[in-house]
Amino acid sequence: MSVPAADPSNIFCMTIIGQVEGHMVLPPQNKTTKYEHLIPQLVAAEQSNKIEGILIVLNTVGGDVEAGLAIAEMISSLSKPSVTLVLGGGHSIGVPIAVAGNRSFIAETATMTIHPIRMNGLVIGVPQTFEYLEKMQERVVRFVTSHSKVKEETFKQLMFKTGELTRDIGTTVIGEDAVKHGLIDEVGGLGQALRELNRLIQAAKPAASSTLPIAAAESAIMEASRAADIGAGGGLPQ
């Protein structure tokens, strides 16, 4: 099947799918997104003069906490407009990534699972490990609440809710519920996300161009002042 050739675009589309792979390599049968691949792509998009906006499409089950937070921090620190779109699912550590853009969208049937941080394997020093997990969990809570409209109390209630998930603590929110809780800005799909991103791109252009006359005026004032100083010095008796 032939794929239609895409016209040159000013929007960079980045997909986060499957499981977010961190410091440990996952089994080959797992579909993964490697954070060390995404970070250089975001740097390149930020540096490119041709790219004016970034669209992040998510359908992820979650994964490594620190890798997910690293991706989320990179997205939130971009100077160019960014829009996130949750399709299918944006679970676990996918939640901070979903709220990291300037504007977030979720499909009507898409879901987001919010649950406490957990770990597998041998634990040496239970109190110390618990304290470490609690601090890491606070990092996630702070990021989500500072980049969305959800209140910390509401987010923690969703995170520690019992009775909804059969094998875990937490909550699964669907489409409109994510918007009602303040996690996501709007219910919508690709068309709405691209329309909003193009609006943000256009809105950013006047702000960028309006600084040019000010800079030019400041430069002209400095040049005029320098010329006046030289002229005054030239008129002094030798």
Q: Which residues are catalytic?
A: 92, 115
Q: How far is CA 210 from the centre of its chain?
A: 27
Pair of tokens at residue 172:
């699964």
User: Who contacts 186 (Cβ-Cβ below 8 Å, separation ≥6)?
Assistant: 103, 104, 105, 106, 179, 192, 196
DSSP of the chain: -PPPPPPP-SEEEEEEEEEEE-SSPPPTTS-EEEHHHHHHHHHHHHH-SS--EEEEEEEEEEE-HHHHHHHHHHHHT-SS-EEEEEEEEE-TTHHHHHTSSSEEEE-TT-EEEE------S--S-HHHHHHHHHHHHHHHHHHHHHSSS--HHHHHHHHT--SSSSSSSSEEEETHHHHHTTSSSEE--HHHHHHHHHHHHHHHHHHHHHHHHHHHHHHHHHHHHHHHHHHHHHTS--
